Structure 1
Amino acid sequence: MMKNLLFLAPLLVFQWVVGQSDQDTLPKAEVFTTMQSVNIDGRTIYLTAQAGTFEVRDEQNKPLALMGHTYYSKGDKREAATRRRPIVFAYNGGPGSSSYWLHMGILGPRRIVVNDPEYTPAAPYQIVNNNFSILDVADLVMIDPVGTGLSVPLGKAEFKDFWGVDQDIKSLSLFIRQFLIANDRMNSPKYLLGESYGTFRNAGLMNRLLKDGIALNGVIMVSAVFDLRTLLFPPEDDLPYIVHFPTYAATAWYHDMIPDKPEDLYAFLDDVRKFTEEEYTPALFKGDRLSAEEKEAMAAKLGAYTGTDPGYWMKANLRVTNGEFFAEFLRDKGEIVGRLDSRFTGINQDLLAQEGSHDPQSSAISPAYTAGFLDYLYRELNVDKNLHYATSAYEREGFKWDWKHVGNERWGTQAAINTGVDLAEAMSRDPYVKVLILNGIYDIATVFYGVEHSINHLGLTPEIRDHIIMKYYEAGHMMYTHPPSMAQFKKDVAEFIRETSR
């Protein structure tokens, strides 16, 4: 026995040395600290800003990833922990987007000024004090998921290990838990704030965190989606056509394409909802059993509500995808409308195209956001200029998302892409958590009627259902590019945090 131990000892020492060497060669977390301030409603708030990376470890305590983030805290670490100041973890979506849109659009101490709903000219861009920041009511952690920003895998982990619904939820839950511990914030009121796919992530992440013993005070959903059927237009599925129709009608209202246009947008949308539920949905459900007369009558109504030719709806068999609507709606004017925000229009270079060629809203604002944020990151937050910031995971070779999600399986295969089940479970098992959902009326990327449908099919008790608060904005997916909506966004989110953190 002693002989065997003596024989193994050199091998064990060799393995330890090699392992130690591997650890030493791993890139290290780096944080760049600066002092920042923001003036909100005449009050100056002084902040410590820490931008850089945080080492996340797996359940076996092995290095898993460097997670890029920017952490804004009021006062020093000890003071923040003592005051129990709320802390918000925020991110954008994609999947595959870094979080500079929310960072520089509405949440952080600086914001980019864009010409909503027109195109913003090239630099110099305006980077101004953000009077609509939430930093007067909470500390803020902007997170870039692995593959975006400065976030990269460590050790044996690869990018593909993070690129999926469940993989993404797991890595962010580990980051949040370990970040809270490292910064003495475990007893602070805690919030998630996600936009677009970030809301899909939110639903799964709030459930995962709860199972790990971390109850949230609130979850904020910006331009939400929980059931991807509402966006994907699957074959022989009428649901996405149904939930998109009210947004098509809202777009027609905005662009004055409706004869005798009603003055009240919200009353108009109530009428459209009623028509969609009581007439359009039953007509689609009949399928090929719908008579020619019934079909023509329905096409006439669809055309009237959307300012389009009834003949187009006849050719489309009463079913128009969002991409088809982008191209058709303003075809006679030689324009297309925006996917993220249908108030924006752009040039249609192919008047025979079946689908829109690009998103005018994205083209109108992306250069300003990208250049403005990178200037702020490297110049004001003092991040090392040698560190590459990936604005999107599409910069990484082989980016591909795994859409499988635990809880979506039936008969041994994936039957859905839906984290609404997680949202329902988390809210039912934590009857105190509240959810704020912010909807852009002109958002054709994640349509408001789709969110309403999902919420109405979660199977929640009335008491829990009342914990979901819906707000609407006369803007699009990024409603914070619209100045009036920017002010409303701040008011709604700040009130939500104050009321749920008492």
Structure 2
Amino acid sequence: MSLCAPVLAEAPPPNAKAAEQQSQTRGLPPEAVTSHAIALQGEKIAFTARAGAIRLKDAKTEAPQADVAYVSYERSGIEASGRPVVFIFNGGPGAASAWLGLGAISPWRLRFPPETPSPSLTPVLLDNAETWLAFGDLVFIDPPGTGYSKFLSEKDDVEKRFFSVDGDAEALAVVIRKWLTARGRLTSPKYIVGESYGGFRAVKLLAPLRERENIGVDGLFLVSPALDFTWLQGGRPPLSYAALLPSLAAVARNARDRGQLADVEAYAAADYVVDLLKGPKDPQAQSRMSEAVARFTALDRNFVARLGARVDAKSFSRERKRNEQRIVSAYDGGVEGYDPDPFAPGGDWADPVLDAWRAPLGAAMTLLTQEKLAWPIGDARYAILDGRIARHWDFGHGGRANAEALSDMRDALALDPRLKIVVLQGVADLVIPYFATRLILDQLPAYGDADRVRLVVTAGGHMPYLRDEGRARMRDEARKLIERH
């Protein structure tokens, strides 16, 4: 299956026309356009909101395949052609854009209470003081299977293609090109924002945008990106434990930045690696590691020794507050929840951050769509996070464990000397540790200016924007990236 603009050389075959007519009755509604204004630092900012969908078709038959939903916010009263456009994706795979949209970037955001999140939280939308609308127009895109996006084809191979690394990137590149063309924004500076797998996706998008859609990208802003899954496989490469250790220490120390973890980073990158590579047959190395890891993580030394001084995120999440019958979130080690089965030797549990915020964010997006965007979506459910998509995702040859986007990043930086990348991560993220990302990025050449790729570490976890400090830091770093072009 290939995705591109409709074939214009010849009329579509009759079966394609029938499929198009049938899809109109079950596709998404036409675009809704509304006008709004919010106050930012005392300044009134007027903007236009658009909620709609871009239809993707088979390039050969023009048979409809999917309607990809988007929400855009475009500032009023400013010449659009030179104004930056920011395309925003979440990750998963299977996560909708409301995480970044109502969590951090859009003109409105969900109110986040200071206490542990609750799925029964009543969604309240606030004007977002940290919105990026002040320095760029925003386009939030929900890949097929997420948000309100929907498949229009019942063929299994269509869904299978979309649920793959290459098919996903090719399809979303078409969506970006179609949005730019429809809005007359091909000359605007272009940026892509991606979180978690969305960071992987953002890097993978560069090649199809450049090579298939004739579109260049000025910059990437990656939030907690999964750049190389080999580093994220606990229990496999010894370096994965070294990459995680500073984040474990950040939780133990309630650290808010890298400056509080310099000693842990130095140990993790030197003595710890040396002893890890000696293996479990060296009792002196095991003893040294157990002592140091227990000290940095505030875990019981005997427990650390039983793990061979190789502490994974799940074990840490369970053991840190085990005596209090509580667990900590892997997505933000500073957030705790109750252990549903505290006396079991092992177990599974819903994450106190990821799983608790799903319902409020999904409900808030429904509220936004109905009350502010006025998009007549009816009783459609907003799919905030679909685990089925992640389970069925095709990572290509080698599978998930060997998937990486660093090679694509190398090629893009070498080819385009104007491309700049900012990577922002929370210090207490145990899912994609910031130190792993630092070690990965350290393998890149300077490409003439080492500042072309910057790592920013802030307070918080995998979604650092759930905290006021992290949300403000994201806005400030994004403004620097966009305005310095």
Per the normalisation by structure 1, the TM-score is: 0.87
Amino acid at match of 2:159: F
Aligned to 1:127: 125
- Report deviation, 1:382: 1.1
- Report deviation, 1:265: 5.5
- Report deviation, 1:158: 2.9
- Report deviation, 1:279: 0.9
1:382 to 362, 367, 374: 374
Aligned to 1:450: 436
- Report deviation, 1:415: 8.0
Q: How does 1:80-479 map to 2 (within 5 A)?
A: 80-82=79-81, 84-116=82-114, 118-120=116-118, 122-155=120-153, 158-212=158-212, 213-233=214-234, 235=236, 237-254=237-254, 266-290=258-282, 292-351=283-342, 352-354=344-346, 357-386=349-378, 388-392=380-384, 394=386, 400-404=392-396, 416-458=402-444, 460-479=445-464
* Greater Cα radius of gyration, structure 1 or 2: 1
Change in Cα spacing, 1:68 to 1:307, as seen in structure 2 (3 Å) is same
Amino acid at match of 1:278: A
Aligned to 2:8: none
- Runs of 5+ unmatched residues, structure 2: 1-10
- Report deviation, 1:117: 5.0
Aligned to 1:9: none
Contact conserved, 1:328 with 1:354, CA < 8 A, in 2? no
Q: How does 1:12-31 map to 2 (within 5 A)?
A: 16-27=13-24, 28=27, 30-31=30-31
Residue by residue over 1:428-481, the C-alpha shift from the partner in whole angstroms, topping out at 9 and shown as x without a partner, is 1111100011110011111101111111123x2352543001111111111111
Aligned to 2:476: 491
Distance in 2 (alpha carbons) for counterparts of 1:330 and 1:18: 61
Identity %: 27
Distance in 2 (alpha carbons) for counterparts of 1:399 and 1:282: 36
- The answer on 1:69 being equivalent to 2:54 is no
Per the normalisation by structure 2, the TM-score is: 0.90
Distance in 2 (alpha carbons) for counterparts of 1:224 and 1:300: 31
Distance in 2 (alpha carbons) for counterparts of 1:60 and 1:37: 43
Distance in 2 (alpha carbons) for counterparts of 1:100 and 1:15: 36
How many pairs does the alignment contain?
Answer: 468
| Mean CA deviation greater in 350-359 or 33-42 | 350-359
- Report deviation, 1:488: 1.8
What SS does the aligned partner of 1:36 have? strand
| Mean CA deviation greater in 204-213 or 474-483 | 204-213
Residue by residue over 1:26-65, the C-alpha shift from the partner in whole angstroms, topping out at 9 and shown as x without a partner, is 2255211111222211111111111121113454482442
Contact conserved, 1:49 with 1:70, CA < 8 A, in 2? yes
Residue by residue over 1:289-344, the C-alpha shift from the partner in whole angstroms, topping out at 9 and shown as x without a partner, is 42x23311220111001001111121111212211111111112211111111110
| Mean CA deviation greater in 266-275 or 241-250 | 266-275
Contact conserved, 1:229 with 1:239, CA < 8 A, in 2? no
Residue by residue over 1:195-238, the C-alpha shift from the partner in whole angstroms, topping out at 9 and shown as x without a partner, is 11100111111233233332211100011220012222254x21
- Report deviation, 1:121: 7.9
- Runs of 5+ unmatched residues, structure 1: 1-13, 256-263
Contact conserved, 1:114 with 1:368, CA < 8 A, in 2? no
Amino acid at match of 1:402: D
What is the root-mean-square deviation in Å for CA atoms of aligned residues?
Answer: 2.6
Distance in 2 (alpha carbons) for counterparts of 1:20 and 1:225: 41
Contact conserved, 1:105 with 1:112, CA < 8 A, in 2? yes
Amino acid at match of 2:442: N
Distance in 2 (alpha carbons) for counterparts of 1:31 and 1:455: 40
What SS does the aligned partner of 2:293 have? helix
